[in-house]
Amino acid sequence: MQREALELKIHRPGDADPTDEGIHQLDSYLLRLGLAAGHLVIFDQRAVEGKRVGTQLGVQRATSPSGRTISIVRI
């Protein structure tokens, strides 16, 4: 059996960036499931001019508070 952990967040106009919340939430799933890695998908619904300069679409890697690997996919 193969187990995967995935958390989905939506970045709506006017809302704060959900990345940190998603990482912490996914980290708790990973701990509970005993997995070393997981995926955080963020759907960015903001208009192009509203997107932060530092927020790039695509895949990034992050480390959770407990040291697990998280792939962050922004689309």
Can you tell me the distance from the alpha carbon of 56 to that of 30, in angstroms, rounded to the nearest whole number? 25
Can you tell me the distance from the alpha carbon of 1 to that of 17, in angstroms, rounded to the nearest whole number? 34
pLDDT of residue 54: 53
Nearest Cα to Cα of residue 70 among 36, 34, 42: 36
Neighbours of 36 (CB within 10 A): 10
- The pTM for the full model equals 0.85
Please report, for the chain, the start and end positions of each structural domain, with discontinuous segments joined by +. 6-74
* Contact predicate 39/7, CB 8 Å: yes
Write out pLDDT tens, residues 17-42.
Answer: 999 999 999 999 999 999 999 999 99
